[in-house]
Chain A
Amino acid sequence: NAGVTQTPKFRVLKTGQSMTLLCAQDMNHEYMYWYRQDPGMGLRLIHYSVGEGTTAKGEVPDGYNVSRLKKQNFLLGLESAAPSQTSVYFCASSYYRANTGELFFGEGSRLTVL
């Protein structure tokens, strides 16, 4: 049972390049989330999905797109990377109607935009 797996773990981009972060979970969770974590800012929600084929904007969605074509996967795309998107990105998932509603996080993807 791998839990939540994020790829890649590290990536360096040049301004204007595009890339996709992949999140995969093997817990059959309905809900998936993308957060970014910056020093002094805490975790901020970018986008989330409540089921296959659905996505919604979080607190800081600008500059990002997401897709959830399969229940187990949630992709985060950067179409034209900017230095302000240098951050650590965390994917998380949760179970529908869980007693606790806890989020299961991946280990993070560290992105640097030069």
Chain B
Amino acid sequence: SQKIEQNSEALNIQEGKTATLTCNYTNYSPAYLQWYRQDPGRGPVFLLLIRENEKEKRKERLKVTFDTTLKQSLFHITASQPADSATYLCALDMRSWGYSTLTFGKGTMLLVSP
């Protein structure tokens, strides 16, 4: 079965710096990889999806890379702000017949200090 590891349980950075979160997986590469944000006491919210044939995806201050050789995805938040503090989840998207059964990592808690 697939195993997913997100680099650390918590990451502390200063406002304005770039936060880099890591997602590593074993076994076969998924067709897609998704990133979600989860605030305390709330449900996860979708941020970005990257396909196996895409090396990089951007959305505003967010950037995701996907390296199927290294079996790794990196998630970057540039010019980080305290409002970016949250837990970030990566999920392997083993898509089948149009629907996604996602396998989630445990998440990395990001704390951005002013």
Question: Which A residues are closer than 8 A to B by beta carbons?
Answer: 4, 30-31, 33, 35, 40-45, 48, 50, 58-59, 90, 92, 94, 96-97, 100-108
CA–CA, A43 and B45, complex, Å: 13
CB-defined contacts of B41 to chain A, threshold 8 Å: 107-108
* B104 sits at the interface (CB 8 A): yes
Contact of B101 with A90 in the complex, beta carbons under 8 Å: no
Contact of A100 with B49 in the complex, beta carbons under 8 Å: yes
Question: Which B residues are closer than 8 A to A by beta carbons?
Answer: 4, 32, 34, 36, 41-46, 49, 89, 91, 93, 95, 97-107
Contact of A42 with B89 in the complex, beta carbons under 8 Å: yes
Contact of B105 with A94 in the complex, beta carbons under 8 Å: no
Offer 30 A-B interface pairs, CB within 8 angstroms, sorted by A: A4-B43, A35-B104, A40-B106, A41-B106, A42-B105, A42-B107, A43-B89, A43-B91, A43-B102, A44-B104, A45-B102, A48-B99, A48-B101, A90-B44, A96-B98, A97-B98, A100-B46, A101-B34, A101-B49, A101-B100, A102-B49, A103-B34, A103-B36, A103-B100, A105-B45, A106-B43, A107-B43, A108-B41, A108-B42, A108-B43
CB-defined contacts of A50 to chain B, threshold 8 Å: 97, 99
Given A42-B89, A50-B97, check contact A103 B102 (CB 8 Å): yes
Contact of A101 with B93 in the complex, beta carbons under 8 Å: yes
CA–CA, A2 and B6, complex, Å: 31
Contact of B101 with A104 in the complex, beta carbons under 8 Å: no
CA–CA, A43 and B91, complex, Å: 9
Contact of A31 with B99 in the complex, beta carbons under 8 Å: yes
Contact of A101 with B43 in the complex, beta carbons under 8 Å: no
CA–CA, A48 and B93, complex, Å: 15
Say how far B72's CB is from chain A's closest CB, in angstroms: 18
Contact of B104 with A30 in the complex, beta carbons under 8 Å: no
CB-defined contacts of B34 to chain A, threshold 8 Å: 100-103
CA–CA, A58 and B100, complex, Å: 12
CB-defined contacts of B104 to chain A, threshold 8 Å: 35, 42-44
Contact of A96 with B99 in the complex, beta carbons under 8 Å: yes
Instruction: Tell which of A35, A94, A105 touches B99, judged by Cβ atoms closer than 8 Å.
Output: A94
Say how far B27's CB is from chain A's closest CB, in angstroms: 15
